[in-house]
Amino acid sequence: MGIIEFIKTFILPVIDILLVTYLLYKTYSIITETRAYLALKGLLLIIVVYLVSSLLPLNTLNLIMKIVISYGVIAFIVVFQPEIRRVLMRMGENKFWGFVADSAFQTLNEIIKAVKFMSKKKIGALIVLKKESGLINIINTGVKLDAMLTSDLIVSIFFKNNPLHDGAIIVEGDRVIAASCFLPLSDAVSRKRFGTRHRAALGLSYDSDAVIIVVSEETGIISVAANGVLKSNYDETSLKNELNRLLSE
């Protein structure tokens, strides 16, 4: 067997399977963040019932399922057109394919700039950096913004007189998706030593792969929660190194 035949017979099928698996995984991870997720699960259940009714066979049930699927797919496309468009747009982004754009470094610098300022002025803040886990339930507890991330925007949100300062902001890529979001609280840390923001950051880090930055309103101390661990006393350099490490995992 020649090299070309070996590649066609063994290598290309493996590459084909890996590419399809990756595309399905990334598409699924995006869909889970939208309201179309539950409807899609229902549609898949109907398809399963249709296949089972075809095998047994259950003719009446099979006929009903065939009609439901025919109209259900069309209804799904019409009702969830915005979500489908979002999936297609996300597929066109570099980060969908695993590439990190230069804008990601600029975004990180903007976050660090804001955190440094708020730490100095003792402005309490709770910043959630979304990774792969869907946070739609958390986002729905706050006010949706979908605004371009800048240090000025972050500082203005957490300014005491701003109605949105109480709660967390959700950051995805270079966008602030939502503000004033409520996170699940954790009892794994002392209530006397840590406030609500720190307990909320740790609580979300248990439930997702998000990286959460906390600025203490009382002391200005910067903390980071990730993977169920809360660490404190970061300065500008150590915070940048820590975020680069956690976000690249």
**CATH number, domain containing residue 238:** 3.40.1700.10
Total domain count, the chain: 2
Same domain, 45 and 115: no
Q: What is the mean pLDDT of each run of 10 residues along the chain (249 residues)?
A: 75 86 76 65 84 86 86 77 65 52 74 96 95 88 93 94 92 93 81 81 91 95 93 93 86
User: Under a CB-based contact definition with an 8 Å cutoff, are residues 66 and 123 in contact?
Assistant: no
For 122, residues 6+ apart whose C-beta sits below 8 A from its C-beta are 216, 217, 218, 219, 220
Residues of the chain by 3-state class (helix, strand, coil), percent to 5: 55, 15, 30
| One domain, residues 142 and 88 | no
Nearest to 207 by CA among 126, 141, 130: 130
For residues 219 and 119, state if they share a domain: yes
| 104 and 92 fall within a common domain | no
Residues 107 and 156 in one domain: yes
Phi, psi of 134, rounded to the nearest 5 degrees: -70, 135
Of the three residues 65, 96, 127, the one that is the final residue of a domain is 96
- What pLDDT sits at residue 90? 59
Please give the Cα distance from 211 to 170 (Å, whole number): 10
Are both 84 and 112 inside the same structural domain? no
Residues 9 and 25 in one domain: yes
- The answer on 54 and 20 residing in a single domain is yes
Residue numbers of the domain that contains 162: 100-248
The DSSP 8-state label assigned to residue 7 in this structure reads I
Compute φ and ψ for 180, nearest 5 degrees: 60, 40
124 and 174 both lie in a single domain:
yes
**Residue that is last in its domain, among 37, 67, 96:** 96
d(CA 86, CA 102): 22
pLDDT of residue 171: 95
Q: Does one domain contain both 110 and 228?
A: yes
Q: What's the pLDDT score for residue 100?
A: 46
